[in-house]
A and B are shown apart, each in its own frame.
Chain A
Amino acid sequence: MKLWTRREDARLLTGHGRYVADLVVPGCLDAAFVRSRVAHGLIREVDCSAAREVPGVVGAWSAADLSELPVCANEAAHLQDLPPVPRTMLAKLSTEDAVNGREWPSLAKDRVRYAGEAVAVVLGEDRYRAEDGAAEVTYRIDPLPAVVTPAAGAADSVSLFDGLSNVAFRGTAGEPIEEVVWRRAAAVVEARYRQQLLLPTPMECRTILAVPEDGRLTVWSGHQMPHRLRLELAKSLGWPAERVRVVVPDTGGAFGSKSATFPEYVAVVFLAVKLGRPVRWIEDRMESMSVATRGRGQDQRVRLAADEDGRLLAYELEIDADVGAYPHLGVGLPMQTAWMATGPYMTPRVHATVRSVLTNTMVTYPYRGAGRPEATAALERSMDVLARRLGLDPAELRRRNLIPPESFPYQTPTGRRYDSGNYAAALELALETIGYDAWRAEQARRRARPDALPLGIGLACYVERSGGEPGGLHDFAGVEADEDGAIIAHCGAASSGQSHETTFPALVARTLGVDEYRVRLVEGDTDAQPEGLGSFASRSAQVDGAALQNAALLFAERARERAAELWGVPVEEVEWSGGTLYPVRDGSAGMDLTELVKATGPLRVHERFESGMGFPFGAHAAVAEIDTELGVVRVLRLVAVDDSGVVLDPAVVRGQAFGSAVQGIGQALYEGIPYGEDGVPLMANGLLDYLVPTASEIPPIEIKDTCTPSPSTPLGAKGAGESGCIGSPAAIVNAVADALQIADPDLLQMPLTPDVVWRAARAPKYEEA
């Protein structure tokens, strides 16, 4: 009997996981950062002298005390097969133009640009001592007006970088749409939406432990891209990459927020090398909430036009993105929204524009969904408004416009080439699963009774992108056999909780026809796996899975070649079956792989594998009921139908769908960062102020899938990690809007907290409008 669903469960669910904070390294120092309570201001003085007198404190430094401290987001130039690096990222997350003249210091030098930015670092014998020291550091900062919204930032009345505009990046996708198109349309929907800033909130916050030894540095970090971290840290130190080893132990979630090099990492690594002692930084929850990367953050303006039959004519999306204080990591991220603006529809004209605006908050960066939730929310909210304008059922409006299965590959007006899909099938399954017609009947019944709680049904069809952007669609994978016959699979991915230990060995074993438990996975160690890109953009199954499958096939091939050589027969006369090699002709007993490697030495295959982009899709549906007196939204049902191509392990994919749906509910109903006028987030009590859905908030969620294999790799898998964050928020908001029948779509901005919904419930309804 199998006791655990996943191989890693035996360890993780019994408290035997080992995270960076669990690693015991003798003599290790803990870092604590002194953080600015001011969001924007000029640093007049930082005084660490009192901190240095605190017992157990080993050192305390401001930027002025550490003039050699490298900046954050160094340019990792001249390195082959670069994973996305800060400056000119392959994923186009930033640009040369955006970062020129805008330095990102690892400790703030003369100006702070977000509340929580580190102005000093203290090392202590343990975290208690380090915090004791941090409490003694004093600083004087003259406040400047804070830029809290993109609109305020774009006005440039206060600049974050002297002499430079706060607009750090502009981009477009698609061609501008002529006015005549809008004039001639039967219906045009115009609306504004706010995609609020969110915190990724992994259970384990960020971690780094740097151990210098024998001229090398070993860095332990809960990280999604160990090879990138290695390159960037090596570059910071001015070292060749080989002198740095990055190891990713058990990691408690990331959701995108652990794939870069952060100011604190540079400081920790620099000090470890400077002092020749192990140093670690274990970010705590309060720090994470003020200084970890944020997700989303877009103010959108849309226009959507259709003819009288409900055929979409044109869609325009203008984005003012709130990208935080430094442009180095995420100014280009809103382009993900622009490129995906077309969504799953055949709209002939789509035009999206992006303005990325610097604001006084920590940097905006990919958070589960990364640009696609924003695209889906804008389009799907507008689709519901349009359906009502045209007097069409929202499901029917979508049916008339979904890209049909025979049109793939489909070139969108915004520059994407969708690989494969059957969008209508996902929609029909979602409607059937939720019981669409029965809920519409219930809704009609309630609408006939003035005292009934209003009920609404919301839909969201989505298509998203997985794998990465061109230039970053590859990874490295290998399969090896030791002399004891054990098979080791390794790849450039790095799990932060996505079950790689279960799914990847199973995939390799299936490909080789051997027992699952004969295969072991090694990943997340740059010594054991010299090259790699990592786990982001829902790519692990799609890219690394396919890479492993490819490596396994090559491995069997190599084994046959060796046996052929050993036996002196042509390779076509050697068969691989279930881990044993057979001579086809003489019918004698085969030779097990173990014997083969004993006879011929270890067998290793290591390959670079290139994938295409994947375009997962799906349809989500929500039913919500509103207590209009209080504004409380009760989600009665949520259905998520996702198509992520060929699924490696249904239970694991289900887990991803479920977890991401819950985070989608979080965006729709609970999560948001309230800022004071001074730009300081109002979250003094941590997760008591920033509310994430807990087990008690989870409504009945039903998860279904359809399977349209991706032609982008022989494996046919697409990404599966982000679906719920992408599809669910729009479905839920649509359900609320449908329940309230509100005339003005701009009134329902996420999160739909009770006060927002109560106000919206009192606004004019559309029959009255």
Chain B
Amino acid sequence: MKPAAFDYVAPHTVREAVDALGDTWRDVRVLAGGQSLILEMHMRRICPDLVVDINHVAGLDRIGLDDGTVRVGALVRHQVFESPQAVPGPLGRLCANAVVNIAHPPIRTRGTLVGSIAWAHPASEWCAIAVALDAVIEVRSSGGVREIAARDFFLGPLQTARAPDEIITSVRFPLLGGSTGVGFVEHRRTHFCFAQVAVAAAVTVHDGLIVDARIGLANCADRPVRARAAERVLIGADVSAANDHPFADAALAGDHQPVDHPFGDADLAGNRLPADHPFARAGRAAADEDAAPVDEPYADPEYRRQVIAVLVGRTLRQAVADWRSHAEPEGGLR
């Protein structure tokens, strides 16, 4: 587990970085947090000729706000998003809910959101959020700048529309409005491993009805998926039907120690949705129509579809609960 020899540069400006990337005769890689790249290099699955370490480039570590969007620079670490205030409104809460599922704390202090987008792992939480929210990926090369919509960006496992000479400078997400509730639920085998399935949801509610829904699925296909069939089921659904009270049995009575419920929002589990509930139907639509799970150890497609259906339902309930507790008065509190 030692990397092959490589050249290394540590530019101080984006321009210098872009110049270094322009050497298209060679395999050149950007080094951001290194939490995926270094691993691959250690296993010699990636043997770059040149590593362009962008960690010294000024200005890339910022989260900027303008015009209803939030721009996340290429050096913003996962850890920053652990605070729901890092980004305003529901998007901040969504990011905070999602980020704790990524690896464990030391890795989150190094790894970056943009690095995750660039890496395009099908199980990536950020990639699922990016497709759900129609994020825009901003790239730059010596030829200039270009914007790529998330829906066009992810082409397969670890494959993207980014050209080798392009650096991603930032990723732009639309801020979510006050009448939007968000949820993020993940299912994985241990706390630090990758998701078997993860679901991100943002639902916008008016007059007690869902008027917009965005659902992103991680590890449900060879790339992140926006669950459009599921979203369609939800439009017009009455949120009052969603029972968002956590299930009482999960918390044990008496002197038994309280137990952390680590995997997804499993404390909702006992209280199943009736099959004809719109959230249950959305779950099945996501599982049967939107997802295309590939086989992997401990999660064959049949099981994965089950998990997707369940998790979509739970995520939606979480989103409605989030909307209830945060919605602004004009946002549709009944």
A-B contacts, CB under 8 A, total: 110
**B272 touching A451 by the CB < 8 A rule?**
yes
Bound-state CA distance A451–B300 (Å) is: 27
Choice from A449, A694, A755 contacting B192 with Cβ under 8 Å: A694
Q: Is the CB of B193 within 8 A of A632?
A: no
Q: Which of B239-294 contact A (CB under 8 A)?
A: 247, 249-250, 252-254, 256-257, 259, 261-264, 266, 269-272
Given A629-B272, A697-B190, A755-B303, A285 and B249 contact (CB-CB distance below 8 Å): no
Q: Which of A630, A636, A700, A753 contacts B266 (CB 8 A)?
A: A630
Given contacts A630-B263, A630-B264, contact A135 B252 (CB under 8 A): no
Complex Cα spacing A446 to B298, Å:
29
Which residues of A sit under 8 angstroms from B298, Cβ to Cβ? 672, 674, 753-755
Kindly state the separation between the CA atoms of A636 and B255 in the bound complex, as whole angstroms: 12
Among B4, B189, B253, B266, contact of A132 (Cβ-Cβ < 8 Å) = B4
Question: With an 8 A cutoff between CB atoms, is B299 at the interface?
Answer: yes
- Give chain A interface residues in 685-736, CB to chain B under 8 Å: 685, 688-689, 691, 693-694, 696-697, 699-700
Chain B residues within an 8 Å CB radius of A634: 259, 261-263, 266
Q: How far is the CB of A446 from chain B (nearest CB, A)?
A: 6
Q: Which residues of B contact A449 (CB under 8 A)?
A: 249
B residues in contact with A301, CB < 8 Å: none
* Alpha-carbon distance A691/B303, docked complex (angstroms): 19
CB neighbours of B300 from chain A (8 A):
755
Query: With a CB–CB cut-off of 8 A, which chain B residues contact A127?
Result: 2
Q: Is the CB of B5 within 8 A of A132?
A: yes
Residue of A nearest to B191 (CB): A696
Q: B173 contacts which chain A residues (CB < 8 A)?
A: none
Contacts of A689 in B (CB 8 A): 297
In Å, the complex CA distance between A58 and B110 comes to: 37
Given contacts A132-B4, A286-B1, A688-B193, contact A452 B249 (CB under 8 A): yes
Q: Name the B residues within 8 Å of A7 (CB-CB).
A: none
Chain A residues numbered 250-270 whose CB sits less than 8 Å from any CB in chain B: none
Using an 8 Å CB-CB cutoff, how does the interface string of A449-472 with B read, 1 for contact, 0 for none? 101110000000000000000000
Query: A446-B249, A627-B269, A630-B264 are known contacts. Are A670 and B259 too (CB-CB below 8 A)?
Result: no
- Enumerate chain B residues within 8 angstroms of A696, measured Cβ to Cβ: 104, 190-192, 262
Bound-complex Cα distance A128 to B47 (A):
13
Complex CA–CA separation, A446 to B303 (angstroms): 26
A700 nearest CB neighbor, chain B only: B257
- Residues of chain A lying within 8 A (CB to CB) of residue B192: 694, 696
Q: Any chain A CB within 8 A of the CB of B307?
A: yes
Contact A754–B196 (Cβ < 8 Å): yes
Asked if residues B189 and A670 are in contact (CB atoms below 8 Å), the reply is: yes
Query: What residues of chain B lie closer than 8 Å to A637, measured between beta carbons?
Result: 256-257
B310 within 8 A of A: yes
Q: Does B306 sit within 8 A of A, measured CB to CB?
A: yes
A417-455 toward B: CB 8 Å interface, digit per residue (1/0)?
000000000000000000100100010001001011100
A284 at the interface (CB under 8 A from B): yes
Residues of B within 8 A of A700 (CB): 257, 259
Bound complex: CA of A442 vs CA of B307, how far in Å? 28
- Which residues on A sit within 8 Å (CB–CB) of B193? 688, 691
Residues from chain A with a CB closer than 8 A to the CB of B262 are 634, 696-697
Bitwise, B27-51 to A at CB < 8 A (1) or not (0) is 0000000000001000110000000
Residues of B within 8 Å of A694, CB to CB, are 104, 190-192
Q: How far is the CA of A753 from the CA of B194 in the complex (A)?
A: 15
Complex alpha-carbon distance, A285 and B311, angstroms: 34
Q: Is there an interface contact between A442 and B44, defined as CB atoms closer than 8 Å?
A: no
| Chain A nearest CB, measured from B130 CB (Å) | 22
Cα-based distance from A675 to B127 in the complex (angstroms):
30
Provide the bound-state CA to CA distance between A451 and B2, in Å: 52
Q: Which residues of A contact B189 (CB under 8 A)?
A: 670, 691, 753-754
Residue A651 CB within 8 A of the other chain: no
A204, CB-defined interface residue at 8 Å: no
Contact digits for A338-382, partner B, Cβ 8 Å, 1 yes 0 no = 000000000000000000000000000000000000000000000
Contact of B310 among A625, A629, A759 (CB under 8 A): A629
Q: How far is the CA of A699 from the CA of B5 in the complex (A)?
A: 44
Most buried by B among A131, A627, A670, A694: A627
Which A591-634 residues have a C-beta within 8 angstroms of B?
Answer: 625, 627-632, 634
Contacts of A451 in B (CB 8 A): 247, 270-272
**Least CB separation from A692: chain B residue:** B190
Give the Cβ gap from B55 to chain A, nearest Cβ, in Å: 23
Q: CA of A696 to CA of B104 in the docked complex: distance in angstroms? A: 10
Report the nearest B residue to A284, measured CB to CB.
Answer: B1
Taking the complex as formed, is A77 at the interface, i.e. its CB lies under 8 A from any CB of chain B? no
Within 8 A of A (CB), among B164-208: 187, 189-194, 196
Q: Does A104 contact B (CB under 8 A)?
A: no
Point out the residues of chain B lying under 8 angstroms from A699, CB to CB: 259
The distance in angstroms between the C-alpha atoms of A128 and B300, with both chains bound, is 38
Residue of A nearest to B249 (CB): A452
Closest chain B residue, CB of each to CB of A287: B1
Q: Report the minimum CB–CB distance from B244 to chain A (whole Å).
A: 15
CA of A629 to CA of B287, assembled, Å: 14
A739-755 contact mask (Cβ, 8 Å, vs B): 1 or 0: 00000000000000111
Q: A758 an interface residue at 8 Å Cβ cutoff?
A: yes
**Is A632 within 8 A of B266, CB to CB?**
yes
A135 touches B44 (CB 8 A): yes
- Cα distance, A632 to B266, chains bound together (Å): 8
* Contact bitstring B1-23, A, C-beta under 8 A = 1, else 0: 11111000000000000000000
For the complex, is A682 an interface residue (Cβ under 8 Å from B)?
A: yes
CA distance A674 to B194 in the complex (A): 17
Contact B269 A688 (CB under 8 A): no
User: Which of A135, A442, A625 lies in contact with B4, CB distance below 8 A?
Assistant: A135
In the bound complex, residues from chain A placing their C-beta under 8 Å from that of B263 are: 627, 630, 632, 634, 754
Which residues of B from 124 to 141 have beta carbons under 8 Å from A? none
- Contacts of A442 on B, CB cut-off 8 Å? 252-253
- Tell me the bound Cα distance from A691 to B191 in angstroms: 10
Task: Establish whether residues A758 and B44, one from each chain, have CB atoms under 8 Å apart when the complex forms.
Answer: no
Given contacts A442-B252, A696-B262, contact A628 B269 (CB under 8 A): yes
A–B complex contacts, Cβ < 8 Å, 5 sampled: A131-B2, A132-B5, A286-B43, A628-B269, A674-B297
Taking A632-B266, A634-B261, A682-B297 as known contacts, 11 extra A-B pairs with beta carbons closer than 8 A to each other, sorted by chain A number, are A128-B3, A128-B5, A625-B250, A627-B263, A629-B310, A634-B266, A636-B256, A674-B297, A696-B190, A699-B259, A755-B303
